[in-house]
Amino acid sequence: MRPHSRHRHSLHCILPPYLSREIARNGTREQRERILRTLSIDTTFRSMRVARGAMIPLGQRLIPSPMMVESQLQRTIYDMKNTEALPGTVVRTEGQGDTSDVCVNEAYNGLGATYDLFWEVFARNSIDGMGMPLHAHVHYGENYNNAFWDGERMVFGDGDGDLFNRFTIAVDIIGHELTHGVTEHDGPLTYFSQSGALNESISDVFGSLVKQRVLNQKADQADWLIGEGLFTDNVEGVALRSMKDPGTAYDDDVLGKDPQPGHMRSFVKTWEDNGGVHINSGIPNRAFYLVATQLGGYAWERAGHIWYEALRDPRLRSNAGFGSFARLTVMAAGRLYGSDKDEEKAVRDAWNQVGIRVSRERAGEPAWGPGVQLPQQAQQQPPTH
Amino acid sequence: MRIELKREGGVAFFPGLNRPRGLDLASLPPETAEALQRAVREARFFEQPATVGTAARGADRIRYTITVEDDGGRRHSVQLLEPVEEPHLRALLELLKQAEKTQRASARAQHP
Ligand SMILES: [Zn+2]
């Protein structure tokens, strides 16, 4: 017996994934279509074709591994003891109870909440979709003011206590870091310029969804802040970023003023910050906020699904700009909820409001079938400077 | 000796922190200045390449640029991408961050 068999029936998830798969196999056509909307186990286009007429034997394509019927959440938390020599010491593994260290518990719970969002809402089994174990390293460095994803694990500093509190304090930051792993696996979106800002924005979007789901907030109840609670009282500011009002999160003597634009007219051209990845992410962030609030209800339901579908679209190039991602979200909305329905309109309208026009013709789905080749990906090299 | 520390990236971009921060060792408490000088020497700073560490993967890592100008007019910059593995460079970075924090605290005490 596994100590932590998970039989959670989330109210906001249409059905738990294992049940969804049963229906995908044995349900009626209507049931299948409804479920396949949420069940993106295989690639978007396979699901799409299946939903449209069961052209592919369902059982084969939708269930890549017979193991994938239950959650495979596998967390390990390491204590860095204020050094930077990774990996540090294991202090909590899956199924173990709370420790006396608040950072350890926050990391453990934050990874759990993030895993749950991807699993219960998007039927994705961890970062790689194959149950990849999750590793978080807390108490990294001395007075360390950051959290990052190194390609394999999440690393969290304690903050210097002067400007920043511990970085595990904000569950959306934990979700943000883990989502970098998801994007790296699915995208990947080159960490530079517009594709890098999209990469950043996707981490903010899903990080925020993790927090909203933990707090059971609907789109209009959420604060849409990223990293609320990270600043100490010495800082004039509420959070690292605001998805609702980019550029308003802080204005402080030491940190400066939040540089995020919320519209293309204020797009920042810079070589710093990998070409402004944490700056221009304000634009797609606001687009997501606008979609979610326009549609109402829980943001992870429709808006979240549309964004997730676009992220997984094989046509998303590693050097994608805002415009092409916008187009993929419009197409995803039409595909998931019907063309020219509220969802597609909301998505198109949101991008319009941040200065990105997705024309009707260009958003139309190109012919897509087994014989169609994917566009060649032009490799974009970030400058070394 | 003058040392400048600049950082880029991290989970957010802060214009204020992104500006290079200069530390004039003459204006620091003697023990801090000595520790920094020793750290520069032990890190063989002037012999280090312009970039240490690469980022093939990952996100939100901080990139530090340390520039040291000694009293003889020698000047050298080294870019460090975390996690910084080399222990002496790491120690230098730690000292710089500590000195910066102390400076900020005293500035805050003078101009609350
Ligand atoms: Zn990030």
**pLDDT score, position A235:** 97
How far is it between the farthest Cα atoms of chain B? 44
Is residue A381 pLDDT above 90, yes or no?
A: no
Is residue A275 pLDDT above 50, yes or no?
A: yes
Identify the residue with better confidence: A222 or A152: A222
**Closest in A140, A240, A259 to B15, CB measured:** A259
Contact of A256 with chain B, judged by CB distance below 8 Å, is answered with yes
- The complex scores an ipTM of 0.78
pLDDT band at A10 (very low <50, low <70, confident <90, very high): very low
Is residue A247 pLDDT above 90, yes or no?
A: yes
Identify the residue with better confidence: B19 or A315: A315
- CATH 1.10.390.10 in chain A is located at 193-353
Distance, CA of A178 to chain centre: 8
**pLDDT score, position A362:** 54
pLDDT tens for residues B1-28? 999 999 887 999 999 888 888 888 998 8
- Chain B neighbors of A140, CB-CB under 8 A: 83
Structural contact between residues A287 and A351, judged by C-beta atoms closer than 8 angstroms: yes
Q: How would DSSP label each residue in A261-322?
A: -SSGGGPPP-SHHHHHTTTTTHHHHHHHHHHHHHH-S-TTTHHHHHHHHHHH-TT--TT--H
CA-to-CA dists, residue A334 to A91, A313, A324, A360, B50, angstroms: 46, 14, 15, 11, 50
**pLDDT score, position A85:** 81
- Show contacts of A151-157: CB within 8 Å, 24+ apart: A151/A184, A151/B56, A151/B57, A151/B58, A152/B57, A153/A86, A153/A87, A154/A107, A154/A111, A154/A178, A154/A181, A155/A80, A155/A86, A155/B83, A156/A103, A156/A107
- Show contacts of A100-106: CB within 8 Å, 24+ apart: A101/A138, A102/A166, A102/A168, A103/A138, A103/A139, A103/A156, A103/A158, A103/A166, A103/A168, A104/A77, A104/A79, A104/A138, A106/A166, A106/A168, A106/A169, A106/A171, A106/A174
Contact B104 A276 (CB under 8 A): no
pLDDT band at A363 (very low <50, low <70, confident <90, very high): low
Rounded to 10 deg, the angle between the A171-186 and A302-312 helix axes is 40
B66-85 residues touching A, CB cutoff 8 A: 82-84
- Mean pLDDT over each residue of chain A, to the nearest integer: 82
Is residue A63 pLDDT above 70, yes or no?
A: no
- Residues of A involved in catalysis: 177, 278
Q: From CA A306, how far away is CA A335, in angstroms rounded?
A: 9
Checking phi first, is residue B94 left (phi over 0); if not, alpha (psi -120 to 50) or beta?
Answer: alpha
**Which of A251, A254, A260 to mutate to probe the B interface, most B CBs <10 Å?**
A254
Domain over A12-186 is classified CATH 3.10.170.10: yes
pLDDT band at A357 (very low <50, low <70, confident <90, very high): very high
pLDDT band at A359 (very low <50, low <70, confident <90, very high): confident
Full-model pTM:
0.80
Is residue A378 pLDDT above 50, yes or no?
A: no
- CATH 3.10.170.10 in chain A is located at 12-186
Q: From CA A288, how far away is CA A351, in angstroms rounded?
A: 9
Q: Which two tokens stand for residue B15?
A: 């214009």
Cα of B72 to nearest chain A Cα, Å: 27
Contact of A383 with chain B, judged by CB distance below 8 Å, is answered with no
Contact of A227 with chain B, judged by CB distance below 8 Å, is answered with yes
A303-362 residues touching B, CB cutoff 8 A: none
Q: Which of A197-201, A234-238, A378-382 has the lowest mean pLDDT?
A: A378-382
Contact of B11 with chain A, judged by CB distance below 8 Å, is answered with yes
Structural contact between residues A138 and A156, judged by C-beta atoms closer than 8 angstroms: yes
- Chain A neighbors of B20, CB-CB under 8 A: none
Report the separation in Å between the CA atom of A156 and the middle of ligand 1, taken as the mean of its atom positions. Answer: 13
Cα of B26 to nearest chain A Cα, Å: 23
Is residue A49 pLDDT above 60, yes or no?
A: no
B22-41 residues touching A, CB cutoff 8 A: none
Identify the residue with better confidence: A12 or B26: B26
- Chain A neighbors of B108, CB-CB under 8 A: 234
B48-67 residues touching A, CB cutoff 8 A: 51, 55-62
Identify the residue with better confidence: A147 or A43: A147
Cα of B13 to nearest chain A Cα, Å: 6
Contact B57 A184 (CB under 8 A): yes
DSSP state, residue A12? S
Is residue A250 pLDDT above 70, yes or no?
A: yes
Cα of B77 to nearest chain A Cα, Å: 12
DSSP state, residue A379? P
pLDDT tens for residues A283-308? 999 999 999 999 999 999 999 999 99
Q: Which two tokens stand for residue A217?
A: 């907030």
Contact A273 B9 (CB under 8 A): yes
pLDDT tens for residues A84-128? 888 999 999 999 999 999 999 999 999 999 999 999 999 999 999
pLDDT band at B105 (very low <50, low <70, confident <90, very high): confident
Contact of A276 with chain B, judged by CB distance below 8 Å, is answered with yes
Cα of A355 to nearest chain B Cα, Å: 23
Structural contact between residues A283 and A355, judged by C-beta atoms closer than 8 angstroms: yes
The 10 Å Cβ neighbour count of residue A215 is: 11
pLDDT over 70 for what percent of chain A? 75
Closest-CA residue of chain A to B62: A146
Identify the residue with better confidence: A37 or A283: A283
Contact of A177 with chain B, judged by CB distance below 8 Å, is answered with yes
Report the separation in Å between the CA atom of A57 and the middle of ligand 1, taken as the mean of its atom positions. Answer: 39
**CATH number for the domain whose boundaries are A193-353:** 1.10.390.10
H or E segment at B30?
helix B30-42
